[in-house]
Structure 1
């Protein structure tokens, strides 16, 4: 049995995130989102620890998160520009999946590998959404790296943090292509 999948490779060679600010309604329904979450959960997971989980932020949660971003930004002394940028992903958001890294005690799997696994889940979810025909973007920002914001907004435990917010909705406008890395400059070949 051949594992070759030219269509999947062609998709990966042409994939392009869609800016979150260009995503419009409708967003996926819960039923439409489940296969995307299933695909993401198939990411590499050394030790079968499942060092991640999902929090789906639906449209109704976005105003609360935007207001909390503003409150936390003011408490942190953020500039009005930083606050506006931080809350914009919630003001404009249709649906986002917070991929939560969950650090689990393990003698065999170092913490950094658990972090990498959570990052792999973010990329897998992003690519699954794009492959399913949705617009999608992986965002972070100062708010999701703030422990107080995460505790209030998402009720995260001490061993948890946000690996990324994957915004998923309908593509409102096609983004232009952007420059890609020069493979010759970033690739080293070792033969001996």
Structure 2
């Protein structure tokens, strides 16, 4: 028989991201964040390639990136409300972790599996932050997919992509529950 962990299962069944715009300071300090990052790095990683890395963005870095995102968004001809949204994503944050998908050369492990591993890191980081009592949200946004922003703002190489921006902070309001997937609609059972 398995050895269940009811508290962990209850956490996973009730977990809920906290909207980034509702997070405020304080944010986790370095020692606290290192524990959260350690938990996030305990992610399935076929081939032990570590095809991801972290960039920790503190408040001043987020403010700098807000300006860059707004400038690049405007230069790309996006609508004013989109430019403001692109800027505000970074401006509102107190602390964020960029999870960078950084595929490694491998004849055995395809890039797609490595990218999936980076996505698993995002969810693990989000859940570790929530389990530690912090508010957290996994976002992306226009700038995180813009090659010039990723290169100039984050120092990513041509082979790297942003898997997710995980914003962390102190929760100011509990989010309302939202509808969840209909398990019967999305599940197919195969017995033979």
Structure 2-normalised TM-score? 0.98
Residues 1-192 of structure 1 mapped to structure 2, 5 A cutoff: 3-192=3-192
TM-superposition CA deviations, 1:144-181 (whole Å, max 9, x none): 00000001110101111100000000001110000000
Q: Which secondary structure state, in structure 1, belongs to the residue aligned with residue 168 of structure 2?
A: strand
- The superposition leaves residues 48-100 of structure 1 with CA deviations (integer Å, 9 ceiling, x where unpaired) of 00000000000111111010001110121111111111111211101000000
With 27-36 and 75-84 compared, the bigger mean Cα shift is at: 75-84
Give the 3-state SS of the residue equivalent to 2:62 in structure 1. helix
5+ residue gaps in structure 2? none
Cα contact 1:102–1:161 (8 A) shared by 2: yes
Q: CA deviation at 1:123?
A: 0.1
The alignment of Structure 1 onto Structure 2 pairs a total of residues equal to 192
Dislocated runs of 4+, deviation >2 Å: none
Contact persistence 1:51–1:117 (CA under 8 A): yes
SS in 2 for 1:93: coil
Question: 2:4 & 2:66 partners in 1: Cα distance?
Answer: 44
Aligned-residue CA RMSD (Å): 1.0
Gaps of 5+ in 1: none
